[in-house]
Each structure stands twice: as C-alpha cells, then as structure tokens.
C-alpha cells in the first residue's frame, strides 16, 4: 500500500472514530470534558493500532522484556479501549499491574546480570552501582549522612539548608472560572506543537508530540478545545 493511500485511510479511520465526540463549548461540564478527552485518545489509539507502522525492536532493545509483559500491555490496551463500559478503575488497575510487572522484570534482569557477571562485566556492574559525584563542586551531605548525587538532589539539599519553608500564610486559592481560557486559540496551540520536539517524552497513553502533530492537521478544533 502506498504512503498516500495509508495516510488517507488513517485519516478516515480517525475522523470516523472521533465523529461521535461532541464539540465542547463554554457551557460544557467537567464530566463532558473528561469524556471528550477519553474519546479523543481512544480514536487516536485505534487509528495508530490499525494504520501506524509497527516499530521493530531488536533482541537487545529491552533485555528485561518478556511474554508476560506483552500480555499485560495488551490487557492495558483493551482496558483503555473499553473504559466507557468497564470504568476508569479497570484502566488504573491494569496500568498499576503492568508497571509493577515492569519493575519486577527489571529487578530480576539486574539480579540475573549480577549473578552471571564475569570478567569485564564485573567492572560494568561496579560502574553502574558506584555513585557519581560532580567533581566541579564539593560533595554535599544530607542530614542522614548520605551524599547528594546529581544536580537535582544537590539543589534540594541547598534549598532545605539555606531556604527553609516559611510560616503558614493566609493564601487562598483563586476561585474557579474566569476568562483566561479565551486566549487559548488554534494559532497558539499550533505554534506550541510546532516548537515541541517529536522525541519529547509521551504520557501514559504513549502518544508522542510527533503523533499529536499529525492528528492536529486533521482535527485542530477538538484538540484546541481540550487545551
């Protein structure tokens, strides 16, 4: 199938799926916004599953990947597609189980690597486990005696020591509502999408900025409304 034909069918598939999503207005409720966001994500996921070219991974891409994780990922995808019927709680439970299984698989892979390490692999494990200290500055110690590693942890130590939290104030959260959202329009969202890197980290739905840019060409109105 040619690229133009595949592109046309993908666009038709998306527009057919998103056609059932209502257009939001100033009178839309919070529940309607959440429902519209879920429907839009579902339409994107279905279109990508049906028409996007699958990325091929080599055997060394994820040494901790296994068949159990594949089945859990499929279960998470089914829960996302049927969230209207089964409820959002099933999606959260499937995601929690999937993430827990990933952590266990990574831990087992690391332990297996340590048990089977020999020769130069021993020094590879030592390099992974040895704390790296930035030599451009002096080492910073926390109150419990441990060393702060990396810029982020060192910033936290400096803030805790030199900038302690102040006394509680009388701050009150601003009231809901307002008209600031009216400044968000299609040109603004389009310029922000254009400036976003295609390789930026995606969210839980695994839809990257590069994919959003494609759907933006087909349905900028709904995407702008959700922003």
Highest mean pLDDT among 96-105, 135-144, 172-181, 205-214: 96-105
Between 169 and 45, residue with greater pLDDT: 45
Residue 59's pLDDT band, with cuts at 50, 70 and 90, is low
The confidence score (pLDDT) of residue 60 equals 58
The residue among 38 and 55 whose pLDDT is bigger is: 38
For every residue of 143-195, DSSP letters joined together read TTSPBP-HHHHHHHHHHHHHS---------PPPS--SGGGG--HHHHHHHHHH
CB 221 within 8 A of CB 23: yes
Select from 174, 209, 206, 191 the least CA-distant residue to 98.
206
Distances from the Cα of 41 to the Cαs of 61, 75, 205, 226, in angstroms? Answer: 27, 17, 8, 11
**Given pLDDT bands bounded at 50, 70 and 90, which one contains residue 166?**
confident
- Fill in the DSSP letter of residue 198: T
What is the rounded distance in angstroms from the CA atom of residue 134 to the CA atom of residue 150? 7
Which tens digit of pLDDT belongs to each residue from 107-158? Answer: 998 888 888 877 777 777 777 777 665 555 677 788 788 888 877 888 888 8
Evaluate if pTM is beyond 0.85: no
Distance (Å, rounded) from C-alpha 6 to C-alpha 109? 39
C-beta separation of 131 from 113 below 8 A: no
Residue predicted with more confidence, 206 or 193: 193
CB neighbours (10 Å) of residue 225?
Answer: 20
Q: What is the pLDDT of residues 3-22, one digit of tens each?
A: 788 888 888 888 888 887 77
Over range 180-192, report the average pLDDT: 80
Q: Given its phi and psi angles, is residue 150 left (phi above 0), alpha (psi -120 to 50 degrees) or beta?
A: left
- The predicted structure's pLDDT at residue 58: 62
Beta bridge partners of 147: 141
Q: Do 13 and 51 contact (CB within 8 A), yes or no?
A: yes
Q: What is the pLDDT of residue 108?
A: 92
């Amino acid at each position: 199938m040619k690229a133009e034909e595949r592109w046309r069918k993908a666009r038709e598939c998306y527009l057919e799926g998103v056609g059932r999503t209502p257009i939001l207005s100033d009178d839309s409720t919070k529940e309607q916004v959440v429902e519209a966001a879920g429907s839009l994500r579902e339409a994107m996921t279905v279109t990508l599953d049906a028409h996007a070219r699958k990325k091929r991974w080599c055997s060394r891409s994820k040494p901790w990947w296994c068949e159990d994780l594949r089945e859990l990922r499929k279960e998470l995808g089914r829960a996302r597609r049927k969230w209207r019927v089964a409820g959002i709680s099933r999606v959260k439970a499937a995601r929690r189980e999937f993430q827990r299984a990933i952590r266990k698989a990574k831990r087992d892979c690391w332990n297996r690597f340590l048990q089977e390490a020999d020769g130069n692999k021993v020094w590879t494990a030592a390099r992974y486990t040895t704390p790296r200290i930035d030599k451009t500055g002096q080492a910073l110690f926390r109150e419990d005696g441990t060393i702060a590693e990396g810029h982020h942890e060192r910033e936290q130590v400096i803030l805790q020591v030199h900038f302690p939290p102040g006394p509680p104030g009388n701050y009150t959260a601003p009231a809901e509502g307002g008209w600031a959202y009216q400044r968000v329009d299609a040109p603004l969202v389009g310029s922000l999408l254009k400036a976003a890197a295609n390789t930026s980290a995606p969210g839980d739905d695994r839809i990257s900025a590069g994919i959003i840019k494609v759907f933006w060409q087909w349905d900028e109105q709904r995407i702008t409304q959700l922003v």
